[in-house]
Structure 1
């Protein structure tokens, strides 16, 4: 009886070893996530999103909207035109500052043409003084060196009167128109009809400046 028990025990041990080492393990099925939970998706596996259409088309808006254009000026100081631009920029479509050079007749210069040397110019000056001619000046440098200035006059009849006086005293003098140039600054800007009521009047801050509607130029 004892030997039979030992034989059965050894048979059970042998069967257990055979099932664990020789027989293939039972496959168990499992789920990555719990039921009802959406599986994660890698960025590389996702399809790229289709580009969305632009909400605002600036070029089409600019083409369709009706613009009104204005020009304000002239500003004689550059700082003033930049300050005016800061006033209108929040309520306009666009603005631009222009600088132009204005030319105007500044008067009429009466003079004796340049002499051959400074000594000759000083000699002619003494002749003028001897003839009781006042308000003359010997030019000692520049383009008109050794000429004698006899006055600058705003009105032409004053210059002609001076010439007639000197000619009676035997001096042949010339008259030349003097040209004066200076910069002017203009502020150009455009608005829509809806922006027009909010457009500030620059004349309130700059009384000498005009603000007029002009024809819009195509870009």
Structure 2
């Protein structure tokens, strides 16, 4: 019996020794002393908080200044309502040794009023209508040969509506039924070009004096040459 107790005790001691040998050792945590300094990683010096690091601007070469030639100015005299008036003025100045040319200046279109007999079914029917106009003593007409109003008979284009209304009234009194259509009227005026700004003011004033009797409304201006 005593030997049995000794055997059990030896077996327990063997199992206890085996468990200590097979268990992994626990890691040892070393605490730093209270008065030890904290390790700080070294890095490149940066801006202080609240500061923005300035980024150098690229070195761009400044372009060389371009020399701009001053715009040449020319003298103009006008306006003239008709090209023929401008040509007459050119002849007057030419006799006094002043050279000038006539320039056309476009203006915004006006709305015109076209009085006409609506398009007929054929060219022959339109010519019959023209014969009727002749018989009634009506003048100033022409036959429209092309376009949307082909075979219509035009009876005049007027810039003022009251003038067109009088024409319509006269035609109706003669037994016709004309109609009025809006149409754009190109507007132009004419100026005399005296050339570049080298023309002295005295020459311009002399030209105005020469034209004052026949064209009292004419004045002068300066404008970019070629425009």
Q: TM-score, normalised by structure 1?
A: 0.41
- Which has the greater radius of gyration? 2
Q: TM-score, normalised by structure 2?
A: 0.40
